[in-house]
Structure formats: structure tokens, C-alpha cells
Amino acid sequence: MSIAKINWDDAFSNARYIDKGEDYPDLWARRAADYRSSAFTIPDVPYGYHRRERMDIFRPDGEPIGLAVFVHGGYWSEFDKSSWSDLAAGAVSLGWAVVIPSYTLAPEARIRDITRQVGHAIEGASEKFDGPVRLAGHSAGGHLVTRMICDDTPLPPGVLSRIDRVLSISGLHDLRPLRLTEMNVLLKLDQKEAEIESPVLHDPVAGPELTCWVGDDERPEFVRQSRCLAEVWASKGLPTSFVQDRGRHHFDVIDGLKVPYHPLARTFAGDHHEAVEH
């Protein structure tokens, strides 16, 4: 009996399974620009010396509750902070200062370098605001924020101790299959890096709550990876939740971050007593 091979390129392909998927990048850019035009924005704040080590800061009226950081996706090789500004809207309305960083993209940077870079961005942002720190990321960004609470975190203890909630939206938590895709020409993952950079193979640090949120109309591999991390880290004692958002796909599952009363925004930036059920 022959065993069918998994087509890993297809497993990680999103746009071809979403109606008008190719139109989303332009839509994201327009919506983000519209939000920046009216929001209290401090753009292009450096957190390092590379040209992409810049972050945009969005402030609420009054003193912020704390710091909420959103890390974008794009398979570590696409986009920058400018396409996602409107995703700050929900947390800003709930009283948080929101930071959205850019980072160096593959192939100029390896994923291990991007992990450290995002750690530097969070550390730099944390120096600007008091209070708790919340992290959220989408797709590759979900990988990057969960890497911040792994046992080999790049964050210093003082910053790590302030993180009370992490939200991975359609995150990538097991990077080993990516070695079998065409995109690995850019990512250059070898077996060792794929293992080290897979949160599911790490122990989590104690303290934060984790929510793995994924659309129920996503590619099965994304659902598997979110469920897997939630279950593995729950078995290691971390408070975790898994949410499968009805009717949402990989490109619109993030939209709830823009609306302060949406369960996704409240999971990110709401009070601790609020449920993540959806």
C-alpha cells in the first residue's frame, strides 16, 4: 500500500482558497492608511539601527492602561507595519497604547534573527509605557509572539514579567514542515533552526495566558498548528484557550481586532474576567 505524500506548499497556501484573495494586500494598505490619518500616531520610532527596525505607536486618549504589541505576518518575508495600522483600533479604544513594529524580512534575515529583532522591539516599546504588556500576532506574527514566552525567550526578565496575555491568531508554531515547501528557498530553514524556532517544541514560561485563535474556514494545517500549541502548552501548565472562529478565513480572521466590543479585541485588550469564547 502506498502512502500519499502531503503537498506542503498547498497546505500553507491561503490566497488560492479565499475568494478574491489576491485583493487583500491592497485592501489592508488602504484601511491602514485611513486609520493613520485620524489616529493619534507616532510613526517610525526606531528600536534599532537597521532601516526596518522601526515601529508605529498609537496612543489612546489619556494615560494608557499598558502596552499592546501587534506583530504582522507574511511568512517572515512580506509586508511591514504600514499595512496593519487599523488593527490597533480596538485596543486603543479600550485604553491601550499599541505598537506595531516592522522587522527585517527573509532572505535578508533568518527566522532566528527576526525572533531576536521582535524581542528588541518589544523591549524598546516597553521602556516607553508602564503597566502590563499584551502581545498579539497573525500567522508568522503568531509564531513571533509565542516565541517571546518560550523557555529561550530573547526578552529580559523585567519585560517578560510584565506580559500577562499572548494572542496568536492563525499562528505558525511548528516550523518543521516549512522545510518541505518552496518558500524555504527564502527562509533557509535547516532542521536545527526549524526545531529551535518551533514554539510547540519548547516549554512556555510561567505567567502569561495564551489564546490560540484561528478561523474555521482556514487551511487545515493552520487549525492543526493552533490546536497543537494550545494543547501542548496546556499540558505543561500554561493557562491556554483555543478558539475556532466561525465563518472566518486566514485573511479576515484578524478583523475583530479593530472593534473594541468584538471577542477578538477583548481577548487581546479586555479585562481579565472577560471570556474568550466565540
For residue 174, being part of any structural domain is answered with yes
Domain tally for the chain?
Answer: 1
For residue 278, being part of any structural domain is answered with no
The pTM score is 0.96
For residue 3, being part of any structural domain is answered with no
All cell numbers assigned to 10? 498547498
> In 86-180, which residue ranges form alpha helices assigned H by DSSP?
89-93, 111-126, 140-147, 157-160
Give residue 4's pLDDT: 59
pLDDT category at 276 given cuts 50, 70, 90 is: low
State how far the Cα of 136 lies from the Cα of 143, in Å rounded to an integer.
Answer: 10
All cell numbers assigned to 38? 485620524
Q: Which tens digit of pLDDT belongs to each residue from 49-107? A: 999 999 999 999 999 999 999 999 999 999 999 999 999 999 999 999 999 999 999 99
| Domain hosting residue 156, numbered range | 8-269
Domain CATH code at residue 124: 3.40.50.1820
For residue 275, being part of any structural domain is answered with no
pLDDT category at 1 given cuts 50, 70, 90 is: very low
For residue 211, being part of any structural domain is answered with yes
